[in-house]
Chains A and B, each alone.
Chain A
Amino acid sequence: MDLRVVLKLLGHVLIFEALFMLVAAAPSLAYGGWDFEAIMFSVGVTAAFGLALSKIFGSVESAFQKREGFVTVSLAWISLALFGALPYYFAGVHTGFVDCFFESVSGFTGTGLSVFSDLDILPKGVLFWRSFTNWLGGMGVLVMVLAIMPSLRPSAINLLHAESSGPSPGKIVPRIRDTAKIMYKIYVALTLAQIFALFIAGMPIYDAILNTFASAGTGGFSPQNASIGAYNSIPIEVVTGIFIILFGINFSLLFCLTQFDFKSFFADEELRLYLFVIGGAVLLITVDLISVYGGVGKSLRYAFFQVATISSTSGFVSTSLTDWPSLSKAILLCLMVFGSCAGSTGGGVKILRVLVAIKSVRHEITKILHPRLMKNITVNKKTLDTAILNNIYVFFFLFASFVVAATFLVALDTNGLTSAFLVVLSSVSNVGVDINVFGASLAHSATFSGFSKFVLSVCMLAGRLEFFPVMILFVPSVWRKG
């Protein structure tokens, strides 16, 4: 493998990160800002590393193979998280670098597990950065590099493949660069729309921006301790709910909407299943909750928001879940695994894979009845080839393996197997709430040991990058020269 190409791109990524960190300096200044120096120092360190790398390897020009693409994405995310942890570290509001790293990984991967038990003590600049990492990680940082950096070779499509979610991320338009640009345009437009809508719904502008970042990246880093619940406002919950569902939709489909192509939008099988799952879950949970809240209105309100936030893998909280019946919690657990649509900013195994799995099961059963059956598995009338199908099956296996293995490791120093399992699942699916101890999710993560936090960080990264890019780092032959 040609490590120089990888390091060159890593340099670019870090420069981008430094620039974005600089954005966080603005709110810091605006709100008094005793964290301004910390942020500027982080910007300096990150930019120095970035500039050094791109200076040293700037002249390298070499083809980008698939493995370089995967390794780059993986290393880029690790370094993003490492340098992204600096503002927390330098601001001094932490209990060790592992905590800062955990918070940073959780932010970039759009998970939303936090080590801070009280957000009110965080300065405004750092708090801004915390939510901003949600937004940056949501669409993917390398996708942004693709959109902005000129003269990338066609093989850079491998970066898009490795970073975007879903089994076979494709192009919307012929050029990668234009594809990346369109995705970011949609992303930015939706973000602005949500900030505006939240502001109209009565949220202070600073909170509106931060909550929007957290929704766009389906991360859930709200600036309030009680998350969205702190505002206790129906309009805010409805706006946030609708937008996080939107951010959980495949961006190529959202592109269809911008082209006024409603037919292909609503004909999409994955979208239909996604909306069906959300609708079904809201209905069931509403009925289930009537016994708790007493009225349909209130039940519907909490059911809708909670389903939206879990299904899109955002992980906001609007109320305490401790009193919820087990059925509702079980449904939320399923939603957590399913996640959102492929090609969105959300996590989980992705509805598309669930759809293929369901179809595969049906296919296998029909094959028992008709052994000579010749039939392909199709989604949206397009046959999926065996390579993609295998990739999907292997993905399910990896998802399960990661959850089991990490549960084992986290359980070593946590009491309670269930809570270990739930927090791991929540990390791998990038949801970031713990159903068991709902409402207390913020304080919860702080109690884990350093080792568990490290394991969970790996889980979050692996889940966000869909396992393969992370696993390839552990293959020795990748690191050999030539």
Chain B
Amino acid sequence: MKIIVVGCGKGGYTIAKSLSEEGHDVVIIDKKNDVFDKVTESLDVMSLRGNALSANILLEAGAKQADLIVCVASNDETNILCAITAKRLGVKKSVARVRDPEYAVELMQFRKDFGLDMIINPEQQAAFEISRLLRFPTAQDIITFVSGRVEIIAFPLGADNLLANKVVSQIFAKIKMPVLLVSVEREDGVFIPHGDMTLLEGDLLRVAGRPDDIMDFFRYIGIFSERIRDVMIIGGGKITRYLCDYMHKYNAKIKIIEIDEEQCNELSENLPNALIIQGDGTDEAVLESENLEEMGAVVCLTDRDEENVVTALYAQQCGVGKLIIKVNHINIEIIKKLNLGSVICPKNLTCYQIIQYVRRLNNSAGRSSIRAMYKIVDNEGRGLETLEFEITEFSRALHIPLKDLRLKKDALICCIVRGSNVLIPCGSTEINENDNVIVVVDGESIDEFDDILE
């Protein structure tokens, strides 16, 4: 597909990189010249300098033939206007990033009237992810499918866990719970486990299943913990505002520490239920006076990655059980190695959302369509993809028992959602029309379900 990306900040760069690597023709438009050195050296895309609101620049970027425009410039208004203009000039689909909470709500409502096909709001999405992690603190990260009916949840394997040093096939033969182990991540990478693999202490395991079943599984292996009631948030930006909205529904007690006085005032106006403290989130005295050690969770959301990491390190020393860190610039894998807790990266979330959208566009006429796509990436940046497909009548896999389907070696079918049932597949399970199937694949990226068949 021919795709125009407007804005080449950290978000735009990540999106352009992923799309280009997926084989699409990408043109980047940015006002500033200095961002292009990095782009032309490392990405196989075309870069164009200029104001993306000008019709001429858009035409020069090939707006007439383009299939998609992704507007991720720094300014919301630019993004909205640019997406609308481009659509009028002939771009088939438009996506705009809108961050301002006020616009975001309204635009979601009037999206169709403006001719926008998708609105992305990385902060809101990040807040949503964080709220899920707080409700379910055992998880290091959670991926949801079929509007929350299936989840893939990651948890680290402790030494005292009864799964440690056991062979995979034995564990699940014994437990007989409707959950499926989908991946094992350790020092040398992330794998889809096979039956005779031994789980080791320190592995990061991911299991798929219905959320309730996963809860039961966690209770069984003794790592279940209740949802968190006391949360301290460091930094009072947009994510914080969205996060408070989500958490408010669960009656969590929220304490926000923000250094900027004006920002504090604004927060207190908008978030009457939260406790807002004006102070430096990296200052130990401030944290201690606000009873850091009694907090169920600490969420670090300042704009500076370094501060987030340092605060999290301190909170870990104080014995806070759950830590969530936002990073934007630092390589996310480096921070994961510190074993601090969950790491949230808004630009990656946005990027996955866009790739998911592009792949769906790409095979809208195909045998199945992508509903969701997430990446599980290891320290080397290599990884697995988890995808949800809706199966249509054209799939080659219909009504064949799974044991007779010839799947590629590095693919795994984790769950089949049929109506209100969630099935963990076994050899005799068949795939029907309109099923939602969740698969995990290693390595190559796929556009439709049939790609995992031999």
> Which residues of A come within 8 Å of B, CB atoms?
66, 153-155, 157-158, 170-171, 173-178, 382, 385
Q: Are A66 and B41 in contact (CB under 8 A)?
A: yes
Contact B46 A157 (CB under 8 A): no
Asked if A157 contacts B44 (CB within 8 A), the reply is yes
Q: Is the CB of A154 within 8 A of B33?
A: no
A174 touches B33 (CB 8 A): no
Taking CB atoms and an 8 Å cut-off, the chain B residues in 29-48 that contact chain A are: 33, 40-46
Number of residues from B at the complex interface, CB < 8 A: 14
A157 to B33, CA, bound (A): 18
CB distance from B35 to the nearest CB of A (A): 13
Q: Report A-chain residues with C-beta under 8 Å of the C-beta of B20.
A: 154, 174
Contacts of B44 in A (CB 8 A): 153-154, 157, 174-177
| In the complex, chain B residues 272-312 whose Cβ is within 8 Å of any chain A Cβ | none
Tell me the bound Cα distance from A66 to B25 in angstroms. 23
Contact B46 A174 (CB under 8 A): yes
Residues of A within 8 A of B46 (CB): 170-171, 173-174
A343 to chain B, nearest CB (A): 15
Decide if B41 touches A155 in the complex (CB within 8 Å).
yes
B152 within 8 A of A: no
Q: Closest Cβ of chain A: how far from B91's Cβ, in Å?
A: 15
Q: Report the minimum CB–CB distance from A152 to chain B (whole Å).
A: 8
A174 touches B41 (CB 8 A): no
List chain B residues, Cβ under 8 A from A154.
Answer: 20, 41-45
Identify whether the interface residues of B are mostly helix, strand, loop, or mixed.
mixed
- B123 to chain A minimum Cβ distance, whole angstroms, is 30
Cβ-defined partner of A157 (8 Å) among B25, B27, B41, B49: B41
Whether A155 and B42, one on each chain, are in contact in the complex, defined by CB atoms closer than 8 angstroms, is yes
Which B residues are in CB contact (< 8 Å) with A171? 46
B26 at the interface (CB under 8 A from A): yes
- A158–B20 Cα distance when bound, in Å, is 18
Q: Residues of B with Cβ closer than 8 Å to A? A: 2, 20, 25-27, 33, 40-46, 49
**Smallest Cβ distance from B25 to chain A, in angstroms?**
4
Further 19 A-B residue pairs, CB within 8 A, beyond A154-B42, A155-B41: A66-B41, A154-B43, A154-B44, A155-B42, A157-B40, A158-B41, A170-B46, A171-B46, A173-B25, A174-B2, A174-B20, A174-B25, A174-B27, A174-B44, A174-B46, A175-B44, A176-B44, A177-B44, A385-B33
Rounded to whole angstroms, the CA-CA distance of A155 and B25 in the bound complex is: 16
- What CA separation (Å) do A90 and B123 show in the bound complex? 70
Rank and list the top 8 A-B pairs by shortest CB-CB distance, nearest first: A154-B44, A174-B25, A174-B46, A171-B46, A154-B43, A174-B45, A174-B26, A175-B44
Q: Which residues of B contact A158 (CB under 8 A)?
A: 41
Task: Give the residues in chain A near B26, CB-CB below 8 Å.
Answer: 174
Residue of B nearest to A168 (CB): B40
**Nearest Cβ on chain B to A430's Cβ, whole angstroms:** 27
Expressed in whole angstroms, the Cα–Cα distance for A27 and B401 within the complex equals 62
**21 A-B residue pairings within 8 Å (CB atoms):** A66-B41, A154-B41, A154-B42, A154-B45, A155-B41, A157-B41, A171-B46, A173-B25, A173-B46, A174-B2, A174-B25, A174-B44, A174-B45, A174-B46, A175-B25, A175-B44, A176-B44, A177-B44, A178-B25, A382-B49, A385-B33
Q: CA separation between A177 and B44, bound complex, in Å?
A: 9
Chain B residues closer than 8 Å to A385, beta-carbon distance: 33
A178 partner residues in chain B, CB cutoff 8 A: 25
Most buried by A among B33, B42, B46: B46
Residues of the B chain whose Cβ atoms lie less than 8 Å from the Cβ of A177: 44
B80 to chain A, nearest CB (A): 25
CB-nearest residue of chain B relative to A154?
B44
Give bound CA distance, A157 to B43, whole Å.
Answer: 9
Residues of A within 8 A of B2 (CB): 174
Cα–Cα distance between A176 and B20 once the two chains are bound (Å): 12
Closest Cβ of chain A to B66, distance in Å, is 11
What distance in Å separates the Cβ of B61 from its nearest Cβ neighbour in chain A?
Answer: 10
Q: Please, how many angstroms separate the alpha-carbon atoms of A241 and B41 in the complex? A: 38
Closest CB-CB distance, B45 to chain A, in whole Å? 5
Query: Inside 8 A of B33's CB, which chain A residues have their CB?
Result: 385
Identity of the chain A residue whose Cβ is nearest the Cβ of B33 in the assembled complex: A385
Min Cβ gap A332→B in Å is 38
Q: Which B residue's beta carbon lies closest to that of A264? A: B60
Give A177 to B49 CA distance when docked, in angstroms: 22
Report how far A66 CA is from B38 CA in the complex, Å: 12
Most-contacted residue by chain A among B2, B25, B27, B40 (CB, 10 A): B40
Closest residue of A by beta carbon distance from B50: A382
- Bound-complex Cα distance A155 to B41 (A): 5
Residues of chain A within 8 A of B41, CB atoms compared: 66, 154-155, 157-158
C-alpha gap A174/B28 in the complex (Å): 9
Measured in the bound complex, the distance between the Cα atoms of B447 and A21 in whole Å is 43
Q: Which partner residue on chain B sits nearest A66 by CB separation?
A: B41
B370 to chain A, nearest CB (A): 23
Q: How far is the CB of B209 from chain A (nearest CB, A)?
A: 38
Q: Inside 8 A of B45's CB, which chain A residues have their CB?
A: 154, 174
A155 and B20 alpha carbons, distance in the complex (Å): 13
Q: How far is the CB of A244 from chain B (nearest CB, A)?
A: 30
Q: How far is the CB of B159 from chain A (nearest CB, A)?
A: 38
Shortest distance between the CB of A288 and any CB in chain B (Å)? 43
Shortest distance in angstroms between A246's beta carbon and chain B's nearest beta carbon? 24
- Collect the chain B residues with CB atoms within 8 Å of residue A382's CB: 49
Among A174, A175, A177, which residue has the most Cβ atoms of chain B within 10 A?
A: A174
Distance from B113 Cβ to chain A, minimum over Cβ atoms (Å):
32
Residues of B with C-beta under 8 A to A157:
40-41, 44
Most buried by A among B41, B44, B45: B44
When distances are taken between beta carbons in the complex, the residues of chain B under 8 Å from A176 are: 44
Bound Cα distance A175, B27 (Å): 9
Give CA–CA (A178, B46) in the complex, Å.
11
A382 to B48 CA separation, bound complex (whole angstroms)? 11
B28 smallest CB distance to A (angstroms)? 9
Q: How far is the CA of A158 from the CA of B44 in the complex (A)?
A: 11
With both beta carbons as reference points, the residue of chain A lying nearest to B24 in the complex is identified as A174
Whole-angstrom distance from the CB of A34 to the nearest CB of chain B?
Answer: 48
Contacts of B40 in A (CB 8 A): 157
User: Complex formed: what's the CA distance from A157 to B42 in Å?
Assistant: 9
Smallest Cβ-Cβ distance to A385: which chain B residue: B33
Chain A residues whose CB sits within 8 angstroms of the CB of B49 once the complex forms:
382
Q: Within the assembled complex, what's the spacing in Å between the Cα atoms of A168 and B49?
A: 14
Whole-angstrom CA separation of A158 from B41 in the bound complex: 8
